[in-house]
Structure 1
Amino acid sequence: MTRIYAIAAAAVIGLLSIGIWVFTTSASGDRFAQCRASAVAGGAGQIGGPFTLVDETGATVTQEDVIDQPALIYFGYTYCPDICPYDAARNAEAVSILDDRGYSVKPVFITIDPERDTPEQLADFTDYLHPRMVGLTGTPEQIAAASKAYRTYYRKQPTEVGDEDYYLVDHSTFSYLTLPDEGFVEYFRRDIEAEDMADTIACFLDAR
């Protein structure tokens, strides 16, 4: 009898927990709550914002030009020996999976190495990964402003005399899902697989 009571109590607690979660989700007015796998201190509005950069054709663009459809944004650099190519390729794979499912998401690669990443260099890099991936560069000040808006980190490593052109850049490795009417809605860590990323992005797109 005691075991039956315990099972019944557990069931009631479970139902109450679900009820509290549903109520909280509804009360918060966040229609994306069921899709979110991360949390941002102060809310999603703390990430993202205006930027002015230069695209692969040399044209000046703003966030309105870039985020004219759902976009997956990554900050990296083309001379990165391992992390950036892997992350950018993973993002491209997730976008291709979404393409097959009937969703259109723009993959965006913003360099944090404007000294070496010219529009032409970015075009070669992004065209190899995905035909719709957009590469963005700019002045050091423009890159810094975009990085600050998305709360990313990067720092050029010191080099030996005579090797000034051969340097690494430490940087954060998040990917950011942004929507035209919402701005930033979710970030992805680098350990997420392309299929799981695509599933989460699809959830956000269906909930719009």
Structure 2
Amino acid sequence: MAGFAMNKALISLVSPLLLALSACGGGDQSSFEQGALAGASIGAPFTLTDQDGKRVAWDSFKGKYRLVYFGYTYCPDVCPVDLQRIMQAYGKFEKDSPDRAAKLQPIFITVDPERDTPPVLKNYVAAFSPRLIGLTGTPDEIAKVAKDFVVIYGKADEKGANDYLVSHSRTPYLFGPDGQPIALVPVDDPGTKEDEGSPDAVLAALDHWVK
């Protein structure tokens, strides 16, 4: 599966953190460092369209922590597994700490706006949690948001106008109530680190950062 090499400009934005790139549909998945993102140049104001067809701005979530994941609904394996882990962890967090969970908004932003229309997103995010918000937009809007959030993506294995995969970086970001980046959240497959990539690892990250 095709991937994307990170150029020096992108690396400099998040150095010394490493972005994990994965092509949905299979292939090796790189691990990334976990750590604080305070001061990193990640994120910027935007206005996109949610799963109900309403225009939603980044500032619409002002005062809330934001857990942002980029992916797409036609992803055959990686995205649904990641989202399942994220929302399972959120469900446990909501049960254990309802007051803090109420301060957190999970957000799914598509990197495939051509196919991920609001109705498609609506069915998709509902399968994971009623609390998950899905956002889409025009190709230009998504390209701008991806650039601002240091996300690399592009079509791969094209077999037709509507038959293709999308390679994209897997970088779940946690932002604070002020909209500033705080940390990466671990959703990779289990590796050498104990519990890495499990819902419990995501839960631990939320419990640590969301006050």
Q: TM-score, normalised by structure 2?
A: 0.74
Hey, what's the Cα distance between the residues in 2 that align with 1:154 and 1:195? 28
Between structures 1 and 2, the one with greater helix share:
1
Higher relative contact order (CA 8 A, sep 6+): 2
Distance, in Å, in 1 between the alignment partners of 2:61 and 2:210 is 17
Could you tell me whether the CA contact under 8 Å between 1:52 and 1:61 is conserved in 2? yes
Q: 1:196 is matched with which residue: 183, 201, 210?
A: 201
Deviating above 3 A after TM superposition, structure 1's stretches of 4 or more consecutive aligned residues are none
CA distance in 2, matches of 1:122, 1:68: 25
Is this contact kept in 2: 1:44–1:186, CA < 8 A? no
| 2:164 aligned counterpart, secondary structure | coil
For residue 67 of structure 1, report the CA deviation from its aligned partner. Answer: 4.9
- Structure 1 unaligned blocks of 5 or more: 1-35
More strand as a share of residues: 2
- The answer (yes or no) to whether the contact 2:186–2:201 under 8 Å persists in 1 is no
8 Å CA contact 1:67–1:178 kept in 2: the answer is: no
Partner Cα distance (1:155, 1:45) in 2: 24
- For residue 189 of structure 1, report the CA deviation from its aligned partner: 3.9
* 1:2-33 deviations in Å (ceiling 9; x for gaps): xxxxxxxxxxxxxxxxxxxxxxxxxxxxxxxx
Give 1:173's aligned amino acid. R
Q: Residue 127 of structure 2 aligns to a residue in which SS?
A: helix
The 2-side partners of 1:108 and 1:116 are apart by 18
CA contact (8 A) 2:51 2:119 kept: yes
What TM-score, normalized to structure 1? Answer: 0.75
Number of matched pairs = 167
Please give the alpha-carbon distance, in whole angstroms, between the structure 1 residues aligned to 2:94 and 2:186. 21
Gaps of 5+ in 2: 1-32, 189-196
8 Å CA contact 1:53–1:61 kept in 2: the answer is yes
Paired with 1:134 and 1:182, the residues of 2 have a C-alpha distance of 16
- Aligned to 1:180, the other structure's residue is in SS state coil
> What letter corresponds to residue 205 of structure 2 in structure 1?
T
Aligned to 1:187: 184
Match status 1:64 vs 2:73 = no
TM superposition shift of 1:181: 1.8
